[in-house]
Structure 1
């Protein structure tokens, strides 16, 4: 089965991915920070059984992963692929993950909240991604008693998630706006509209390769539909600004920059992860501007999702020094670009 990031969806020249996350807690248990290990173990077992049964009844494939059984490399590879949060990876005891084969559905159990339902898709695809999350939510809601208040909505450990419990985000590739120095101004603007711009891996993380997360901040006093429509409208405006900025930069300098990046990626024998991300960011812009032919956004997404430091080590099944990873990363990228050129 193809991974979600290989699919083509609207605006995927700028919008790399769409993510929906629903935070849910069960009335029968205290919040995570007050739960005993025995309670966490029982919650994990109950939700795992429910999801396994649902997989059979709903014809929905979901594998199950117990985080404490993973190697450190396998664990952090899930973070690199945006399937779990960094905080979740650091607390693997009694933590579980239900994951679909295409990795578009990830249900975290015993995260900051009892259950966090996450769905992913490529491009700017908020409505469909929310529908996928709501399908999982409905399955769980039919058998579990959620902690819900008529006035406050879904109760969550962090008060900022009260209400819908919804965090919707769009990963935007904004190299032209970043180069023009306007990201700070855009960030101030969107904050007045109930949104926030974060780093590549979310709150408190740095930006790599001009990949920014745009997400909602307001969860109380607004419907799920209202929240994602607000996000869609603002994301569309930023996408239009990025496209206009890219068009203004077209010329010999941009073409030279793109081909230089392609040259390094297709011939380098050592590639650090940071260097790779910066170069593949340029490559992605070259594809969007028609400078590079025969390479899809899905194929670039696949390169990014399979060459993170932990992911390389997880695929190899062993810990590796940085230099060895850099050598293998360069070989993977060379081989993939060569095969695309052959086709």
Structure 2
């Protein structure tokens, strides 16, 4: 029932003397992999051959927002993993992308993990750096610290009242609050990503402090909006929550989009004591288990749309019976 679902940190670096992505040719790209790989492996990482991943494995990584489709289909890229530590991508958006996301760790801890890897690698290679602009990146807007921070937020009450004015106000301050949307542009599950791209002129510490401050403000706004929704529109709220519970309890065919929206309403209903769960209900975790990629990976086969929707409905009914 958390508003802040998870946080993520990325450090972007490019090797001095090579073209940036996407102008990097295949020979130079392989040079960069060879230049970095030995040291990465010495740090306890394991390389995963993305080109040999099955379609089901690729779906899992894409859905978890760890790897992109373009990265997975790129024969000049390399992916390194270390249990409970950062991920390292070579030749993704930049020559080197060190990333870590977590539902429990704070930004300071995530940044420290990424910086430790960057610091170790910087002793072996020279990163592209300008005395005025800072670290140089493929997208100039990311130059400076080369640090990208993102938060995933669940904002059902703000979404109910309309969030456009808040998004515009944040944009004027340099923040992007982007909704997760379906193919028709409809918001999915009241889920939003927050990030602040321009890092030129900021130190890493000040950048992290700014993000922590704005997230606290958004969480406070969402909590106030939830109270207002309960006090001013209780019948509408109860109807919305119970309709969603009815769908998840009884549907025989359930689309991913409808599932996400209903799960969002269920989570809000539990938080505002409209529904009482028999056990802890992690909205985000349960929702991810009912998404297309996870369903197919768990099943061990690629399923057509109808089969996915039927399987999702079956699992949804079983989950609701267990939780309520």
Sort the TM-score into its range (normalised by shorter chain): 0.7 to 0.9
Picking from 293, 299, 303, the partner of 2:277 is: 293
Aligned: 1:230 with 2:210: yes
Give the superposed CA RMSD: 2.5
> Does the 8 A contact of 1:169 with 1:216 survive in 2?
yes
SS of the aligned residue for 2:212 comes to helix
- Give the alignment's TM-score, normalised by structure 2: 0.88
Post-superposition CA distance 1:114-159 (Å, at most 9, x none): 1111111116832222222222222322333211222211111111
Post-superposition CA distance 1:273-295 (Å, at most 9, x none): 11111111112212322333345
Aligned: 1:176 with 2:161: no
> Does the 8 A contact of 1:287 with 1:293 survive in 2?
yes
Q: Which residue of 1 aligns with 2:227?
A: 247
> Does the 8 A contact of 2:15 with 2:32 survive in 1?
no
Post-superposition CA distance 1:44-101 (Å, at most 9, x none): 344343222201xxxxxx4432222123343233121121245434x43222222344
SS of the aligned residue for 1:230 comes to helix
> Does the 8 A contact of 1:15 with 1:123 survive in 2?
no
Q: Which residue of 1 aligns with 2:89?
A: 108
Q: Equivalences for 1:178-327 in 2 at 5 Å?
A: 178-181=159-162, 183-200=163-180, 207-250=187-230, 251-290=234-273, 291-296=275-280, 299-327=282-310
SS of the aligned residue for 2:113 comes to helix
Picking from 154, 158, 162, the partner of 2:139 is: 158
Query: How far did residue 161 of structure 1 move?
Result: 0.9
Structure 1 unaligned blocks of 5 or more: 1-11, 56-61
> Does the 8 A contact of 1:68 with 1:94 survive in 2?
no
User: After the TM superposition, which of the residue ranges 309-318 and 227-236 deviates more from structure 2?
Assistant: 309-318
Q: Distance in 1 between matches of 2:69 and 2:191?
A: 17
User: After the TM superposition, which of the residue ranges 276-285 and 37-46 deviates more from structure 2?
Assistant: 37-46
Change (3 A) 1:308 1:100: farther
Picking from 54, 57, 60, the partner of 1:77 is: 60
Q: Distance in 1 between matches of 2:189 and 2:14?
A: 35
Q: Could you say which structure has the larger radius of gyration?
A: 2
> Does the 8 A contact of 2:56 with 2:293 survive in 1?
yes
Structure 2 unaligned blocks of 5 or more: none
Query: How far did residue 269 of structure 1 move?
Result: 2.6
Q: Distance in 1 between matches of 2:179 and 2:56?
A: 22
SS of the aligned residue for 1:30 comes to coil
Change (3 A) 1:41 1:223: same
Q: Distance in 2 between matches of 1:82 and 1:161?
A: 19
Q: Distance in 2 between matches of 1:168 and 1:206?
A: 25
User: After the TM superposition, which of the residue ranges 329-338 and 185-194 deviates more from structure 2?
Assistant: 329-338
> Does the 8 A contact of 2:177 with 2:194 survive in 1?
yes
Give structure 1 regions of 4+ aligned residues with deviation exceeding 6 angstroms: none
Query: How far did residue 339 of structure 1 move?
Result: 4.3
Q: Which residue of 2 aligns with 1:146?
A: 127
> Does the 8 A contact of 2:264 with 2:283 survive in 1?
no
- Give the alignment's TM-score, normalised by structure 1: 0.83
